[in-house]
Amino acid sequence: MNTNNSSHSVTFEKTRKKFGTLVALDKLSLQIPRGSVYGFIGPNGAGKTTAMRILVGISKPTSGSIKVLDADDVTDVRHLIGYLPEEKGLYKRMRVVDYIVYFGRLNGMRKRDAVAKAKALLSEFQLTDWEKEKCQALSKGMGQKVQLMATLVHDPILMVLDEPFSGLDPVNVEVVRSIILDKVKENSTVILSTHIMEQAESLCDAVVLINKGKAVLEGPIDEIRKGDVVSVDHDGDISVFDGLQGVVSVKQVGRAATLQVDPEYDVHTLLKTIFERTRVTQFNSNSASLHEIFIREVGGSEVVSQTTPDA
């Protein structure tokens, strides 16, 4: 089923999307490795959904290009992609199994195969008892699982999931996580967007942090988290840290200061200098969490609110 030979499932090349005067995506360039879980993170209206829509062929870039599964035109490989949008709707009067089969057939499956796969998925998601019920009878969580099944039914090798965990209870979050990990084991690529940094951190191999349509940070999680955060409780004020080498940023609340340290710089040398400048009562050194990185990169920026297709 896997037809692409490149090591990258998706390549954005200076991809730009404008809606009127608003630049929703600004020359995004990135490569998404095959067989990985890749996260799109960023504040609301950053351009994540626009990027995803371009990726699945719903929207066309204004300029630049995108290559998906080695195809220059996404529509050629649509049947290899599974897309789960952020807001999830169902045909309320359709039976659950028919709904899943319908999307399988739209992706080129024969009816018999689609029915068999739909039933297997329903069993896997523990919804076999609901197979013949109408979608309107499902709870929100169940509805999302059915949506996910419709995304998976044709065995896509590239899955694009926009906020797949929103609205799910912890049990179902685990179900979806395990599905994603299973797909990756099969060498499929999963691209997801999420607001929950802990999830991105624990699930994604790599992420791109998008803000105001631009890629602010991009790379493997380990690379992004490289660099320490030093917490220092001391008797002095923030000026103590002026001109310190290796410090990227400093925040101080009361007597507690948080220092973002350049990954290339030695933390021990830094601490020695701080001890020389002030009386330290407590200190702690950790790797930066994705959440902290997100706040650091986006925190001061204005959250964009827009009325264009990008959510």
Compare residues 152 and 288 and give the one whose CB is closer to other proteins. 152
Burial class (CB in 10 A: 0-12, 13-18, 19+), 32: buried
Q: Give the Cα separation of 139 and 120 in Å (integer).
A: 20
- Is 81 among the residues that bind other proteins (CB under 8 A)? yes
Q: Give the Cα separation of 175 and 158 in Å (integer).
A: 19
Q: Give the Cα separation of 228 and 32 in Å (integer).
A: 26
From residue 244, give the alpha-carbon distance in Å to each of 100, 234, 286. 59, 16, 19
Any idea which residue has 């609901």 for tokens? 130
Q: How many residues bind other proteins (CB under 8 A)?
A: 36
Which tokens belong to 117? Answer: 């796969």
Residue 281 Cβ, how far from other proteins at the closest point, in Å?
52
Q: Give the Cα separation of 194 and 192 in Å (integer).
A: 7
**146-175 positions binding other proteins, by CB under 8 A:** 147, 150-151, 160
Contact letters (x/-) for other proteins, 39-68, by CB under 8 A? --------------x--xxxx---------
Residue 188 Cβ, how far from other proteins at the closest point, in Å?
16
Please identify, among the stretches 2-10, 171-179, 251-259, 301-309, the one whose residues bind other proteins according to the rule CB under 8 A: 301-309
Q: Which of 7, 72, 89, 302 binds other proteins (CB under 8 A)?
A: 89
**112-131 positions binding other proteins, by CB under 8 A:** none
Residue 122 Cβ, how far from other proteins at the closest point, in Å?
18
Residue 81 Cβ, how far from other proteins at the closest point, in Å?
7
Q: Give the Cα separation of 263 and 305 in Å (integer).
A: 34
Q: How many helices and strands, by DSSP H and E, does the chain display?
A: 9, 13
The sign one gets for the Cα dihedral 200, 204, 205, 208 is negative
Helices (H), the chain: 48-56, 96-106, 111-124, 140-152, 170-185, 197-203, 221-225, 267-277, 290-298
- Is 20 among the residues that bind other proteins (CB under 8 A)? yes
Please identify, among the stretches 5-13, 90-98, 164-172, 213-221, the one whose residues bind other proteins according to the rule CB under 8 A: 90-98
Q: Which of 70, 86, 113, 133 binds other proteins (CB under 8 A)?
A: 86
Compare residues 7 and 307 and give the one whose CB is closer to other proteins. 307
- Is 85 among the residues that bind other proteins (CB under 8 A)? yes
Compare residues 110 and 255 and give the one whose CB is closer to other proteins. 110
Residue 107 Cβ, how far from other proteins at the closest point, in Å?
6
Q: Give the Cα separation of 24 and 30 in Å (integer).
A: 16
DSSP 134: B
**91-110 positions binding other proteins, by CB under 8 A:** 91, 93-94, 102-103, 105-108
- Is 78 among the residues that bind other proteins (CB under 8 A)? yes
The sign one gets for the Cα dihedral 211, 216, 222, 225 is negative
Compare residues 179 and 261 and give the one whose CB is closer to other proteins. 179
- Contact positions toward other proteins, by CB under 8 A? 19-20, 53, 56-59, 75, 78-79, 81, 83-91, 93-94, 102-103, 105-108, 147, 150-151, 160, 307-309, 311
